[in-house]
């Protein structure tokens, strides 16, 4: 089963050095959505206007699988 890594960028880069074994890219996408939701909830207001929060999923060879980006804007 392939291993996927979930890297976070929010002010600084937090590399996932452990990863998680998942059946494929569709499962990695689903896990990215769930993980992003949990992590954004845990920010507890720390995402400020003009800042970006990013979750990038890579495979074992460091190839990008998907990226979720949240850009905070206040009008």
Domain coordinates in residue numbering, the chain: 3-71
What pLDDT score does 48 carry? 84
Q: What's the average model confidence in pLDDT over 2-20?
A: 95
Percent of the chain with pLDDT over 90: 72
* Per-residue pLDDT tens digits for 51-64: 899 999 999 999 99
What are the tens digits of pLDDT across the range 17-31? 999 999 999 999 999
> Which position has the token pair 């949240």?
70
Residue 47 banded pLDDT, cuts 50, 70, 90: confident
State mean pLDDT over 41-52: 83
């Amino acid at each position: 089963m392939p291993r996927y890594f979930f890297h976070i960028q929010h002010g600084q880069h937090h590399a996932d050095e452990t990863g998680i074994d998942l059946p494929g890219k569709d499962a990695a996408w689903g896990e990215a959505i769930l993980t992003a939701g949990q992590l954004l909830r845990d920010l507890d207001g720390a995402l400020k206007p003009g800042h970006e929060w990013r979750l990038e999923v890579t495979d074992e060879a460091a190839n990008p699988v998907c990226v979720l980006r949240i850009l905070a804007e206040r009008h």
